[in-house]
Structure 1
Amino acid sequence: MGLVTCKSDFPVLERLLDGQKITYLDSAATSLKPRSVIDAVSNYYSQSGVNIHRGKYYLSEEASDAYERVRSAIAQYLGAFGNEIVFTKGTTEALNLVAHGLNLQPDDIVIGCLDSHHAQLLPWRRVANLKLVNIDSNGQIDMDHYHELLKLNPKVVALTHCSNVTGNVAPIEEMTVAAKQACDAIVVVDAAQSMPHPHLRIDVSKIDVDFLAFSAHKMLGPTGVGCLYGKSARLNELRPLMYGGGMVDWVDTNGSQERKIPHRFEAGTPPIASTLGFGEALTYLKQFDDQESLEHTEELTKAIIKGATEREYLQLLGSHNAENRCAIGSLKVIGCDNISDIARALSDSYGIMCRTGHMCAQPIVDDQMGGEILRISAYIYNTTEEIERFYLALDELVSFLGLN
Structure 2
Amino acid sequence: MKINFAEIFAVTAPGLEEVCAAEIRNLLGCAVSITRGGVSFSGGLEELYLANLWLRTASRVLVRIGKVRATDFPQLHRKVKHLPWGRFIKTDTPVIVNAVSRRSRLIHTDRIADTVSAAIGKSLGRATPPPAGDAQTVLVRFEDDNCLLSVDSSGELLHRRGYRTEVSQAPLRETLAAGILHLLKWDGQRPLADPMCGSGTFLIEGALLAGNIPPGLRRTFAFQRWPRYRDGLWQNLVDKAGRDRKEIHIPLVGCDRDGDVIKMARNNAARVKQQGIIGFKHAALEEFMPSAKAGLVVCNPPYGVRLGDEKGLLDLYARMGQTFREHFAGWQGALFCPSDHLVAATGLDFRVAAQLANGGIEAKLFVCQL
The TM-score, its normalising length taken from structure 1, stands at 0.25
Task: Report the structure, 1 or 2, having the larger helix content.
Answer: 1
**Structure number with bigger Rg:** 2
The TM-score, its normalising length taken from structure 2, stands at 0.27
Task: Report the structure, 1 or 2, having the larger strand content.
Answer: 2
